[in-house]
């Protein structure tokens, strides 16, 4: 056989091999797509997915919760299915459906799905936030970590924190007298300081403390990464195999850590902070965790994750909620008249509000803050059922992403008429009050066994903060220095992350009268004296911890 014949035969064989391989791939894609369409027929309604990519590329660039709310209306279903690649995501856009699935059936909806970016490349799947609960061993581990978290911020524990939480809040009011334009930074310092005292026994006295400037930035980055998307890095949730590439050849591959920092090394930083706190003379949650190490055989990454979660769950979210409260007070001044009347009648001007004050309208006001623009806009991390489940005849398969759309839930006209209007009266006990599942009247802190463990601390601190702001200040429009015109605010201009907050906006803070101003000064100066025992510094910085 001649050389040309050999080459010809080899070319034919290669072509046959290529055609054969292509047919196998096409058949596999066809079979897989047939499976997707079969599953789609059994699951809640939603848009037709494409092979392999599902509905991923129909996602909007920002704020996908609006899109899922609209899909729910288009399909006339409180629950819809949206395919992220080959993985179906169930979006729950209705309070009653969320309560039925995630609260009443919490026993099978307390697990998490596989999460590539936030878990595998970020905080880790063993972190309480991301933990599976499919096996008895996993459920035992989850219960232990949840129990240890409640030892830090559970409903019984937060009663002990009232004093310094109140004092830190009084310092915010004092700071607003001198630098009102920095109100968001003051909120960040306050919220971070409270959880730092709890977690590490050290208050944050400066707005430039690295726990604020570096760690909150990390938490905000995490929130931005944890939103369903069609761009890198979130595209790895559609194509998980992209995460298998080594870092040096995969510029799209990054999680929560800084570039070049090995996976999970951020745990080492928080462990070191906890270790430093344990060696100090102050009581703290970190010291408690180290005491529990031998009893529960806690590993260093357990101590690191549990202490870090305090900062992650408490600092950024609380400060964002307070920024939303200010926006509501600026945009809806008509909501303040009844609040001022109640505060002047019950509290007076010689002291600021306290948790023990009987202030039903202010309680309703704070509930409306939580409802109007909930900070965890898609309810935190997705749930995943540990077995196949059915809702009104629709299949919700084991392991599927199940996500509560807090935006849609809190803006349902049936439950909250005129939902974008800030209206505390909707939470007052009146004949016009609408029914809502659960006793709180809102779903800001999630559901079932995955509800936010720090909600009691957040509710306590938010009430103190908002009541003191309303009592102490008039929040008026800022004025443009060049034109002399009022600077408007946009109640829809929010960030795009999972924990969203208003984009920066300007307002004017003015004490309501001179007696109140003097009270703010007196109480703030006394609060600083009360907080003096918590003063201190850490020698560690997140940005430099790994150098050398």
- List Cβ neighbours of 334 (8 Å cut-off, separation of 6 or more): none
DSSP SS3 for 475: strand
In this structure, are residues 65 and 378 in contact, taking their beta carbons and an 8 Å threshold?
yes
Residue with tokens 């911890």: 545
**Rounded distance, CA 133 to CA 94, Å?**
25
Enumerate the H helices of 411-488 as residue ranges: 455-472
Q: Is 380 exposed, middle or buried (0-12, 13-18, 19+ CB in 10 A)?
A: buried
In this structure, are residues 422 and 110 in contact, taking their beta carbons and an 8 Å threshold?
no
DSSP SS3 for 402: strand
Q: Which residues pair with 402 in a beta bridge?
A: 90, 383
- List Cβ neighbours of 434 (8 Å cut-off, separation of 6 or more): 414, 415, 416, 417, 426
In this structure, are residues 535 and 185 in contact, taking their beta carbons and an 8 Å threshold?
no
**Rounded distance, CA 228 to CA 214, Å?**
25
**Rounded distance, CA 385 to CA 399, Å?**
6
In this structure, are residues 126 and 305 in contact, taking their beta carbons and an 8 Å threshold?
yes
* Angle made by CA atoms 255, 261, 262, in degrees to the nearest 5: 80
DSSP-derived letter for residue 383 is B
Q: Taking the CB of residue 278, how many other CB atoms lie within 10 A of it?
A: 20
**Rounded distance, CA 162 to CA 155, Å?**
12
- Name the token pair of 508: 């004017």
269: left (phi over 0), alpha (psi -120 to 50) or beta: alpha
- 452 known ligand binder: yes
Write the CA distances from 74 to 38, 57, 77, 79, 351, integer angstroms: 22, 19, 8, 11, 52
In this structure, are residues 542 and 214 in contact, taking their beta carbons and an 8 Å threshold?
yes
DSSP letter string over 136-202? Answer: HHHHHHHHHHHHHHHHHHSTTTGGGGHHHHHHHHHHHHHHHHH-GGGHHHHHHHHHHHHHHHHHHS-
Instruction: Report helix angle 360-372 to 337-346, nearest 10.
Output: 140
Q: Which residues pair with 135 in a beta bridge?
A: none
DSSP-derived letter for residue 502 is B
Binding residues for heme: 452
Binding residues: 452
């Amino acid at each position: 056989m001649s050389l040309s014949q050999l080459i010809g035969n080899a070319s034919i064989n290669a072509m046959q091999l290529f055609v054969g391989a292509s047919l196998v791939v096409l058949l596999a894609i066809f079979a897989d797509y047939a499976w997707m369409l079969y599953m789609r027929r059994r699951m809640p309604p939603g848009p037709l997915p494409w092979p392999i990519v599902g509905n991923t590329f129909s996602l909007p660039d920002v704020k996908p919760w609006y899109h899922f709310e609209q899909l729910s209306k288009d399909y006339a279903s409180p629950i819809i299915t949206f395919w992220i690649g080959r993985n179906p995501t169930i979006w729950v856009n209705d309070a009653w459906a969320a309560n039925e699935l995630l609260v009443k059936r919490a026993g099978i909806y307390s697990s998490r799905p596989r999460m590539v970016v936030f878990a595998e490349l970020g905080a880790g799947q063993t972190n309480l936030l991301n933990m599976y609960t499919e096996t008895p061993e996993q459920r035992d581990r989850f219960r232990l970590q949840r129990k240890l978290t409640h030892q830090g911020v559970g409903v019984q524990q937060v009663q002990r924190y009232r004093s310094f939480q109140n004092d830190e809040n009084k310092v915010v009011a004092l700071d607003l007298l001198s630098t009102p334009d920095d109100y968001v930074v003051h909120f960040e310092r306050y919220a971070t300081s409270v959880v730092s005292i709890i977690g590490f026994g050290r208050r944050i006295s400066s707005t430039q403390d690295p726990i604020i400037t570096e760690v909150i930035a990390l938490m905000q980055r995490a929130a931005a990464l944890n939103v369903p998307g069609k761009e890198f890095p979130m595209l790895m949730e559609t194509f998980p195999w992209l995460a298998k590439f080594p870092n040096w050849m995969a510029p799209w591959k990054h999680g929560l850590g800084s570039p070049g920092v090995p996976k999970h090394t951020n745990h080492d930083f928080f462990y070191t902070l906890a270790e430093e706190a344990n060696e100090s003379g102050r009581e703290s949650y970190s010291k408690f965790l180290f005491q529990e190490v031998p009893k529960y055989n806690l590993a260093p990454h357990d101590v690191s994750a549990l202490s870090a979660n305090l900062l992650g769950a408490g600092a950024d979210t609380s400060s964002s909620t307070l920024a939303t409260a200010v926006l509501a007070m600026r945009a809806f001044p008509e909501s303040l008249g009844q609040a001022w009347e109640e505060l002047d009648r019950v509290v007076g001007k010689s002291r600021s509000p306290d948790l023990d004050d009987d202030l039903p309208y202010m309680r309703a006001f704070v509930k409306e803050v939580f409802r109007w623009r909930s900070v965890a806009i898609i309810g935190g991390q997705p749930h995943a059922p540990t077995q196949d489940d059915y809702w009104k005849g629709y299949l919700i398969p084991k392991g599927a992403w199940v996500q509560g759309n807090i935006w849609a839930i809190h803006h349902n006209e049936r439950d909250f008429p005129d939902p974008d209007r800030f209206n505390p009266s909707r939470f007052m006990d009146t004949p016009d009050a609408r029914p809502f599942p659960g006793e709180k009247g809102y779903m800001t802190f999630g559901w079932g066994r995955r509800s936010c463990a720090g909600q009691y601390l957040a509710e306590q601190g938010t009430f103190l903060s908002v009541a003191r702001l309303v009592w102490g200040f008039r929040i008026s429009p800022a004025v443009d220095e060049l034109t002399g015109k009022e600077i408007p605010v946009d109640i829809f201009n929010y960030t795009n992350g999972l924990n969203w907050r208003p984009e920066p906006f300007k307002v004017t803070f003015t004490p309501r009268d001179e007696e109140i101003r003097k009270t703010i000064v007196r109480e703030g100066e006394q609060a600083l004296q009360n907080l003096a025992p918590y003063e201190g510094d850490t020698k560690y910085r997140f940005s430099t911890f790994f150098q050398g």
